[in-house]
Amino acid sequence: MAKNKEQVSSVRRARHGGILTAVFAVISILWISPMLVVLLNSFKRKAFIFRYPFGFSANSLSDGWDKYVQGAKQIFCGTLNYKNGLKATNFWDCFGNSLFITVCSVAVIILCCSMCAWYLVRVNTKFTRIMYLLCLFSMIVPFQMVMFTLSKFANMLHLSNPVGIIVVYLGFGAGLAVFMFTGFVKGIALEIEEAAMIDGCNPIQTFFLIVFPILKPTTVTVAILQAMWIWNDYLLPSLVLNVNKYKTIPIAVQYLKQSHGQVDWGAMMAILVLAIAPIVIFYIACQKYIIEGVLAGAVKG
């Protein structure tokens, strides 16, 4: 009887697992379908984008030689879309600005926030507790409350350039990063650091040689989350940067909109594909570290 019950239970679990797998597969397809539509429309002429947004033109569905001719025309039109989009947006300069701002901002956030979190945990005073609460409070304040003041101060402090905006991103990204790093540092045994001090390490050596390597799971998670936010951010660069001299990719996409509301939708779709591709590749390469780092930073301590 016990074996029969176990078999029935295993069958039910397998059945439920199969149902859940099917449900989540459908959800996944719905989730990525907008990106697939953008990719598909990047190879079409403007008329076909509005007439056949979810497929190729009707002629491409015909059999025989016309099908291959239509397919070749679509590919040729796609190359023109990418060529026109690259030329209209000065894409590679914008790509360089976005890459520089993203990489440097993430590096500064990781370095400063990990050191800050270590200090807040190890130096347990009233001042550090207030600082930690202020970091948490910064996650709650809506951006709309500070954006006008921020743009004014950024202009006064001459931060309207790719180097200056890194400081701004550090301020906005510090709340989440300090919160995650603090949760992980609380789980690191203090005896490890004491042993390093006994061996002659000063606090800076202790952090970079002992503590920071242990923070790797949370470091990778913070890097992924911050990189996705900074790479795709439109509002903050548009408020802070001098867009006449420095454009990021999201701003460049907006500038594809011409006078009288005219938009080259083929070029728009092509540039969106090029804008999405780097961050999607980066996320896929690093996604296995996200859950590991989030759980490590949330549960420990």
Q: What fold, for 90-299?
A: MetI-like fold (1.10.3720)
Encode pLDDT of 273-293 as tens digits. 888 888 888 888 877 766 665
Binned at pLDDT 50, 70 and 90, residue 72 comes out as low
Query: Is residue 210 scored above 70 in pLDDT?
Result: yes
For the whole model, what pTM was predicted?
A: 0.80
DSSP 56: -
- Residues 216, 222, 226, 229: what is their CA dihedral angle, to the nearest 10 degrees? 130
Helix axes 265-286, 65-89, angle to 10 degrees: 80
13-27, 168-182, 237-251: least confidently modelled range:
13-27
Which of 246, 266, 276, 273 has the alpha carbon at shortest distance from 84?
266
Which of 79, 176, 74 has the alpha carbon at shortest distance from 132?
176
Q: What's residue 59's pLDDT?
A: 46
| Greatest Cα pair distance in the chain | 80
Query: Is residue 93 scored above 70 in pLDDT?
Result: yes
Encode pLDDT of 39-70 as tens digits. 887 777 766 677 766 765 544 444 444 544 55
Give the residue, 122 or 254, on which the prediction is more confident. 122
Q: What's residue 101's pLDDT?
A: 95
Encode pLDDT of 101-139 as tens digits. 999 999 999 999 999 999 999 998 899 999 998 888 888
DSSP character string of 123-189: S-SHHHHHHHHHHHHHHHS-GGGTHHHHHHHHHHTT--STTHHHHHHHHHHHHHHHHHHHHHHTTS-
